[in-house]
Amino acid sequence: MAIKVGERMPAGTLKVMTKDGPKDVSTDDLFKGKKVVLFSVPGAFTPTCDAKHLPGFVQLADQLRAKGVDTIACMAVNDVFVMNAWGKSSSVGDKVMMLADGNGEYAKALGLELDAHKFGMGTRGQRFALIVDSGVLKSLNVEEPGQFKVSAAEHVLGQL
């Protein structure tokens, strides 16, 4: 069952690359007392994710922050090394936090996992964007298969 607007975000642990190597990030620390836009892509470097989804949030980061967003985070069921390389290749800098959900555990905790076995990708996270305020889900934008509309940075900006 997918998480619903008004519910608290489930507890979980993601990974982020630091100058000292991979580091765990608890979702409690990620969301506590902050307004966070968390968007998920089926995979780093995949066509829509790489050409549109991540770049949109990088381009609109300043406008999102001007609307009160403390953290913009991109999550994918990829390892922390791939997420770090994708962030570097996309020049995200400090605009977007690149979060690895390596085993898909957080996507599953949200009820937003995706069966991508027919594409040779195993279980992934669906394409979505969430607005979270102090750990409570305020907006849930999950794409229909093959679509890229409601999880786009422009759409999220319009919701703030």
Q: What's the burial of 109, exposed, middle or buried (CB within 10 Å: 0-12/13-18/19+)?
A: middle
Q: Is the pLDDT of residue 36 over 80?
A: yes
| pTM to 2 decimal places | 0.93
pLDDT of residue 120: 66
Identified catalytic residue from 44, 49, 96, 152: 49
pLDDT score for 135: 97
Query: What's the gap between Cα 46 and its chain centre?
Result: 15
Whole-number pLDDT of residue 52: 83
| Residue-wise pLDDT tens digits, 89-141 | 999 999 999 999 999 999 999 999 876 667 766 677 899 999 999 999 999 99
Average pLDDT over residues 71-89: 96
- 49 included as an active-site residue: yes
Q: Is the pLDDT of residue 27 over 80?
A: yes
Higher per-residue confidence, 114 vs 30: 30
Cβ(61)–Cβ(155) below 8 Å: no
Residues facing residue 72 across a β-bridge: 37
Whether residue 46 has pLDDT greater than 80: no
Cβ count within 10 A of residue 16: 18
| Domain at 13-159, CATH homologous superfamily | Glutaredoxin (3.40.30.10)
pLDDT band with cut points at 50, 70 and 90 for residue 43 = confident
Across 15-29, average pLDDT? 97
Residues whose CB is less than 8 angstroms from the CB of residue 66 and which lie 6 or more positions away in sequence, other chains included: none
Q: Are 156 and 22 in contact (CB under 8 A)?
A: no
CB atoms within 10 A of CB 17: 19
Q: What is the mean pLDDT of the chain?
A: 93
Segment among 69-78, 109-118, 139-148 with least mean pLDDT? 109-118
**What are the domain boundaries of the chain?**
13-159
Read off the pLDDT of each residue in 47-56 and give the average, rounded to a whole number. 82
